[in-house]
Chain A
Amino acid sequence: MNMTRRDLLTLAGGSLLGALFTPVPWKLLDDSSIWTQNWALIPGLPRGPETCTFTACPLCPGGCALKARRVNGYPVSLAGLPDHPVSFGSLCPAGIAGHHLAAHPLRLRQPHVFSGKGPEGKLVPASIEHTVSDIARIVREIQKSGSRGTIAVLDHRPGRAMSRCYQDFLVKCPDGVYIVAPGSEDATLKTLRSLCGFGKGVPGYDFEHTRAILSFGAPLIDGWGTPGRMTTLLQTRKQSGMKLIQAEGVQTRTALQADTWLPVRPGTEALLALGIANTILREGLQHQKADRTIAGFTAYKDAVARFHPDAVAEACGLSSNAIVQTARTIASTPSIILSGSNPAGGPFNAATEVFIAGLNVLLGNIGREGGIQLHRDIPSSTESPLTAKALADVPDHSLRLLIVDAAESGCTYPATLLKRKLMQNGGTVVMMSPYLSPRTALADYVVPGPAAYECLEEISAPPGAQRSTFALSIPLMRRREVSVDPAAFLARISEAAGLPQAKAATTESCLRRRAHDIWLSRRGILAGPATKASTSVRTLSNEEELWKGFLEGGYWIDDPGEAERVSCQSLLGTLSLEHIPAPAASGPSLQLVPFGWRNATTTATVVPVMSKLFQESHLRHLGGRVHINPATLAASGLADGMPVTVTTTAGSMTALAVADPTVLPGIIHAAVGPSPNNTASNERPEPEGLLQLCTVRDDGSWRTTEATIAKA
């Protein structure tokens, strides 16, 4: 039988048809898809014994205690500890996935030098020896040149043992300056320090006993402070009768859950505070001894007389009755009035902060149960060798070498604020960072620090806490060999530059020194990680026992002790009465107001799984978007989803407009958030998007900026 080509095609056609009625194609499809899941190069889950480790989250100052489930030593899940005396079991979404950060796509694998300034600058890998040698050369040059520029360290989380290590390094350098980063301190407590004589006392909020909180935009129940503490406060407020009043121009999550939302126009918070002060003084609701104990009370009272609620209500966008009722609510019970720092918007301008904080002084909330109480600082056997400076207080163009700490405060700030402190044509920035985050945009050298849970880290009390606390974030995974211990890095620079050697050459030795100081003080208790059981430090037989307790996840909590007395109080501090604005100052037509969510202001701090919150579910706002009231959008001839150009005196940028009825008219609510798809790691990163458009004032504030929008 002769087979023609057509016969062969007929046979093949039959075979093909027959094959469709067999499991071959369908089974092969199924098996091959499973096969691709099991390629040798695809990382798989570890198999082995299951253990648990008690540790604490190092991602922000909140320092929530948690339990890590580990398989074969590798962390696979994190969970809060409900019985914990400090963090009460809550974890924010960033904290839940914090153990993924070590494998972030933007993780740095070796030190880098940026060649060339500006966006055209490229990343060039460098050795740690080369980096240390370059920095040591700059230190030597500064030593020789005398007054040509200074050396500074910017600390994102002051008050740690590591902060002392930075100070020890700087004190050996000529004119070393220790700087605390914006957002690393609570704005209201910082202002109160300048208004009142706290001595060595550390102020903290007594939320648990307060009956009213007036918050000027602080995201109290959205990742602020220790999330567990704030969540518990919210849950128990029905029993405690506590009232929450939220004053801000956007109906945020906190505003939604507050008892009263005061939709105040951004930029007029000072007027609102003065309007409240006016009501308090007119109705005689102030602290009984206010006229005798508060410096400058009479002058303040006279100046505030102009700010009758009727006079400020229109400018604030509120009714005068709302202002009067708010004043009566906070004056009738122990209360706390605070501004908090917005994670991306930073503090208000200095005058507004003084007016807000001053309400606490006026009502006698300082040192009062349910108000702002003083507690003792964490024990230290030596005094701080340097005084901390705020970044805004550093003279412009004065820094020759700036070393930026790797720790996260959870907040961000405009790169321009940092840039203007550097010497023109010569300022060198060394960033210690595990990731190529937008923060490294200004860096000349990037030194990879350890990622979360890769090394021992200090967890001390967050700003606003009522007692001093101390714990350790216990490592859950092996540290990458390339990552550099910050204390060891400074020790190497000291050695190479010929500076005297530091006492503590590693982070662990810094932490041991702090544990030693706690042991010497014999103060406080060591709380067990998962139970309510605790041991007094006095009963521990030796220092090692305390250290062992810390390594097992124990939390040191200071005794209540004798509170420091407030020596003096004033309502304006160094602020002159001239700073009090005119009562009916009307703001610009459109205001750019940046906002962010703590721990999620850059892509580098958002683990890939968390990006679902921003991209798929839209539960959180993605960077590069501006939320505008639909009426404001329509008035500008724009629509939802339209690309728009936002222009300020600092420049212009394109963003995506989102029609958002929760935003008051006249506000451009600019999301400073992650761009999860922007993870290219071979170019100089851009600073945080819309923050670049904000005008940074002389007092270091950038909360509102006059802006215009137009179709892009």
Chain B
Amino acid sequence: MRFKRTILFLSGVLASLAIGWFAFPAVLYRTEPQPMQFNHAIHTGEQNGMTCDMCHEFAANGTFRGIPAIAKCAECHSSAIGSSETEKLLVDQYVTSGREIPWKVYSRQPDNAFFPHAVHVNRAELKCEECHGPHGASMSLPVYQVNRISGYSRDIWGRNISGFSPQPWEGLKMDRCVRCHAERRRDDSCLDCHK
């Protein structure tokens, strides 16, 4: 055949592209279930009107507490509000026993990265959405996928395997920190974030 080698070469290219763009992400990430569902919108919507920092609060010493402890949930959910399965699970499994909910964290960073929320939220006055996207308006939690090699959430890299996304809040890698600091003309050194 006259074009046999060209076809073979292109077949190789196409096979690699297909594997790399479609099969590789499916193999690289493993889906793990969250312990229970959570509706942010119902908390932040008109009915309850809560703001992010009412649950994701700062401690008295200025450190960010991250995901609220079960005691925080119990302030409102000491007994079931409504009759949904999730509500029942929350009260029966966690609030009553005082057991913390083993949430899988989408934005967990490596130990060598130090991110002071207080400086970014209080001093730089960044909105939560600028880094975390419209998480507060979601009706349910996104699928949690973990990278089989690095062990971190897929959200650190970004949902798009290419690493590029039209959404500015997608991905929580260092290049995003550097870009944002450069845009705001913030001086920084390695030891600012890597203690």
Indicate if the CB atoms of A11 and B21 lie closer than 8 Å.
Answer: no
Indicate if the CB atoms of A15 and B13 lie closer than 8 Å.
Answer: yes
| Distance of A74 from chain B, by nearest CB (Å) | 13
- Residues of B near A7 (CB, < 8 A) are 4-5, 8
- Sample of 5 further A-B pairs with CB below 8 A, known A1-B4, A23-B25, A34-B152: A11-B12, A14-B12, A18-B13, A18-B15, A35-B150
**Is B31 interfacial (CB 8 A cutoff)?**
no
Q: Give 1 or 0 for each of B13-28: 1 = CB within 8 Å of chain A CB.
A: 1111101110011001
Inter-chain CA distance A21–B14, complex, in Å, is: 10
Q: Chain A interface residue count: which class?
A: 20 to 34
Q: Given A7-B5, A50-B63, is A18 in contact with B20 using a C-beta cutoff of 8 Å? A: yes
Indicate if the CB atoms of A31 and B19 lie closer than 8 Å.
Answer: no
Output the nearest chain A residue to B4 by Cβ-Cβ distance: A7
Within 8 A of A (CB), among B150-195: 150-152, 157, 161-163
A sample of 20 inter-chain contacts (CB < 8 A) reads A1-B4, A10-B8, A14-B8, A14-B9, A14-B10, A14-B11, A14-B12, A15-B15, A16-B16, A18-B20, A19-B16, A21-B20, A23-B163, A24-B16, A24-B20, A31-B147, A32-B149, A34-B151, A35-B151, A44-B111
Inter-chain CA distance A13–B13, complex, in Å, is: 8
Residue of B14, B16, B19, B28 near A27 (CB, 8 A) is B28
Inter-chain CA distance A418–B112, complex, in Å, is: 45
Indicate if the CB atoms of A10 and B12 lie closer than 8 Å.
Answer: yes
| Distance of B191 from chain A, by nearest CB (Å) | 10
| Distance of B135 from chain A, by nearest CB (Å) | 23
| Distance of A477 from chain B, by nearest CB (Å) | 18
- Residues of B near A27 (CB, < 8 A) are 24, 28, 157, 161, 163
Residue of A1, A15, A34, A37 near B16 (CB, 8 A) is A15
Residue of A12, A21, A24 near B24 (CB, 8 A) is A24
- Residues of A near B13 (CB, < 8 A) are 14-15, 17-18, 21
**Is B110 interfacial (CB 8 A cutoff)?**
yes
Within 8 A of B (CB), among A617-657: none
- A-B contacts, CB under 8 A, total: 95
- Residues of B near A28 (CB, < 8 A) are 149
**Is A41 interfacial (CB 8 A cutoff)?**
no
Inter-chain CA distance A17–B10, complex, in Å, is: 10
**Is A22 interfacial (CB 8 A cutoff)?**
yes
Indicate if the CB atoms of A38 and B17 lie closer than 8 Å.
Answer: no
Indicate if the CB atoms of B111 and A11 lie closer than 8 Å.
Answer: no
- Residues of B near A11 (CB, < 8 A) are 8-9, 11-12
**Is A45 interfacial (CB 8 A cutoff)?**
yes
Output the nearest chain B residue to A34 by Cβ-Cβ distance: B150
Inter-chain CA distance A617–B47, complex, in Å, is: 58
Looking at A15, A32, A35, the one whose CB has the most chain B CB atoms below 10 A away is A15
Inter-chain CA distance A38–B112, complex, in Å, is: 11
Inter-chain CA distance A215–B133, complex, in Å, is: 62
Output the nearest chain B residue to A52 by Cβ-Cβ distance: B61
Looking at A10, A21, A30, the one whose CB has the most chain B CB atoms below 10 A away is A10
User: How many chain-B residues does the 8 Å CB contact rule pick out?
Assistant: 33
Indicate if the CB atoms of B162 and A23 lie closer than 8 Å.
Answer: yes
- Residues of B near A32 (CB, < 8 A) are 149
Interface SS, B side: helix
Residue numbers of A with Cβ under 8 A of B are: 1, 6-7, 10-19, 21-24, 27-28, 30-32, 34-35, 37-38, 44-45, 50
- Residues of A near B24 (CB, < 8 A) are 22-24, 27
Inter-chain CA distance A38–B152, complex, in Å, is: 10
- Residues of B near A23 (CB, < 8 A) are 20-21, 24-25, 161-163
Interface SS, A side: helix
Inter-chain CA distance A45–B19, complex, in Å, is: 37
Inter-chain CA distance A18–B9, complex, in Å, is: 10
Inter-chain CA distance A196–B15, complex, in Å, is: 94
| Distance of A68 from chain B, by nearest CB (Å) | 14
Inter-chain CA distance A19–B28, complex, in Å, is: 16
Within 8 A of A (CB), among B103-140: 110-112
- Residues of B near A1 (CB, < 8 A) are 1, 4
Q: Give 1 or 0 for each of B45-87: 1 = CB within 8 Å of chain A CB.
A: 0000000000000000101000000000000000000000000
Output the nearest chain A residue to B10 by Cβ-Cβ distance: A14
Indicate if the CB atoms of B12 and A18 lie closer than 8 Å.
Answer: yes
Indicate if the CB atoms of B12 and A21 lie closer than 8 Å.
Answer: no
- Residues of B near A30 (CB, < 8 A) are 150, 157
Q: Given A28-B149, A31-B150, A38-B150, is A21 in contact with B162 using a C-beta cutoff of 8 Å? A: no
Residue of B11, B20, B112, B151 near A19 (CB, 8 A) is B20
Q: Given A7-B5, A44-B111, is A15 in contact with B12 using a C-beta cutoff of 8 Å? A: yes
Residue of A14, A24, A37 near B112 (CB, 8 A) is A37
Indicate if the CB atoms of A35 and B111 lie closer than 8 Å.
Answer: no
Indicate if the CB atoms of B20 and A22 lie closer than 8 Å.
Answer: yes
- Residues of B near A17 (CB, < 8 A) are 9, 12-13, 16
Output the nearest chain A residue to B28 by Cβ-Cβ distance: A27
- Residues of B near A31 (CB, < 8 A) are 28, 147, 149-150
- Residues of B near A19 (CB, < 8 A) are 16, 20
Indicate if the CB atoms of A22 and B16 lie closer than 8 Å.
Answer: yes
- Residues of A near B151 (CB, < 8 A) are 34-35, 38
Inter-chain CA distance A18–B157, complex, in Å, is: 22
| Distance of B158 from chain A, by nearest CB (Å) | 11
Residue of B12, B111, B150 near A13 (CB, 8 A) is B12
- Residues of B near A35 (CB, < 8 A) are 149-151
- Residues of A near B157 (CB, < 8 A) are 27, 30
- Residues of B near A37 (CB, < 8 A) are 110, 112
| Distance of B111 from chain A, by nearest CB (Å) | 4
- Residues of A near B21 (CB, < 8 A) are 22-23
| Distance of B153 from chain A, by nearest CB (Å) | 12
Output the nearest chain B residue to A77 by Cβ-Cβ distance: B195
- Residues of A near B149 (CB, < 8 A) are 28, 31-32, 34-35
Output the nearest chain A residue to B24 by Cβ-Cβ distance: A24
Inter-chain CA distance A17–B11, complex, in Å, is: 11
Output the nearest chain A residue to B111 by Cβ-Cβ distance: A45
Inter-chain CA distance A7–B157, complex, in Å, is: 37
Indicate if the CB atoms of B9 and A13 lie closer than 8 Å.
Answer: yes
Inter-chain CA distance A50–B60, complex, in Å, is: 12
Inter-chain CA distance A11–B20, complex, in Å, is: 16
- Residues of A near B12 (CB, < 8 A) are 10-18
Inter-chain CA distance A1–B163, complex, in Å, is: 40
Looking at A1, A32, A38, the one whose CB has the most chain B CB atoms below 10 A away is A38
Inter-chain CA distance A271–B14, complex, in Å, is: 89
Inter-chain CA distance A78–B50, complex, in Å, is: 37
| Distance of A236 from chain B, by nearest CB (Å) | 30
| Distance of A485 from chain B, by nearest CB (Å) | 33
| Distance of B162 from chain A, by nearest CB (Å) | 6
| Distance of B175 from chain A, by nearest CB (Å) | 11
Looking at A18, A23, A44, the one whose CB has the most chain B CB atoms below 10 A away is A18
| Distance of A50 from chain B, by nearest CB (Å) | 7
Output the nearest chain A residue to B9 by Cβ-Cβ distance: A14
Looking at B1, B13, B17, B63, the one whose CB has the most chain A CB atoms below 10 A away is B13
